[in-house]
Amino acid sequence: MSRASIPDEQRLIAALDIPSGAEARDLVRELGDSVSFYKVGLELFTAADGFAVVDWLSGQGKQVFVDLKFFDVPATVARAVKQLQVRNITFATVHGNDAIMRAAAEASGDVGILAVTVLTSLDSADMRDLGFDCDIAALVRSRASRALALGCAGVVASGQEAAVLRNTLGERGVIVTPGIRPGQHDDDQKRTVTPTQALRDGADYLVVGRPIRDADSPKAAADEIQAEIRSALAP
């Protein structure tokens, strides 16, 4: 997939980090044509109707990103990924070593596999606590290069590493960036960037949750982000 081939309006992925299918559907209806791409993560998927929401979104003409971060025995991951096929799912995430990424990519069919690099809620101190005494940018660069070599469609990475990744990968691979914050924030995301910075540094898609979900007017918030995306990508 070429960066230029992605329509501007599809670059915003609204995260449905919501505890029930009914609330998710209400938000999607409220957002209307302001958002055409949605992320379904662990919270919503484990609310007992994850696939029902995925199928409903597809029926509404929306693109779907299933963010379950598969991490298990490679054969188990492969079987789980196969369950996502033929459901009109654009992306799904894996979070593991080379064997896990390869198994997911080989079983992906029509689903684009995204390898998680380093969660945007983690900083250098957190990584040391996990036993990774290394530079985050170097780790992200290494994981991304290996993910593409193993057949993944791209990676999930903080916008703070987008420029390093794009310089390393060139035009290969999709960079999906969570932790997008249009303005000031006070939450658990530590490595955040604005939509403009992420896109200009090389991100292809922006995952936005709380700034839309918790806004006084979610639709207005989404429209503002879409306007910023268009401005950032204007020639």
3-state per-residue secondary structure call for 164-226: HHHHHHCCCCEEEECCECCCCCCCCCCCCECHHHHHHHCCCEEEECHHHHCCCCHHHHHHHHH
79 lies in some domain: yes
Q: How many CB atoms lie under 10 A from the CB of residue 22?
A: 11
Q: How many domains does the chain divide into?
A: 1
235 lies in some domain: no
- CA angle, residues 176, 46, 174, in degrees to nearest 5: 10
Range of the domain at 46: 3-227
Letter string b/e over residues 44-81, b meaning 16 or more CB atoms within 10 A of that residue's CB: bbebebbeebbebbeeeebbbbbbbbbeeebeebbebb
Q: What is the CATH number of the domain that holds 98?
A: 3.20.20.70
233 lies in some domain: no
106 lies in some domain: yes
pLDDT digits (tens, 9 = 90+) for 56-92: 999 999 999 999 999 999 999 999 999 999 899 999 9
Count, residues in the chain: 235
Contact 183, 195 (CB under 8 A): no
22 lies in some domain: yes
219 assigned to active site? no
Which residues have C-beta within 8 Å of that of residue 63, sequence separation ≥ 6?
A: 10, 36, 37, 38, 90
pLDDT at residue number 140: 77
Lowest mean pLDDT among 105-109, 176-180, 203-207: 176-180
Q: Is the pLDDT confidence value at 155 over 50? A: yes
**This prediction's pTM:** 0.89
pLDDT at residue number 188: 45
190 lies in some domain: yes
172 lies in some domain: yes
pLDDT digits (tens, 9 = 90+) for 197-221: 999 999 999 999 999 999 999 999 9
232 lies in some domain: no
Q: Which of 68, 66, 43 is nearest to 55 (CA)?
A: 66
The residue from 39, 69, 190, 219 that is catalytic is 69
CA dihedral 40, 46, 47, 52 (to 10 degrees): 60
Cα 109 from Cα 81, distance rounded (Å): 9
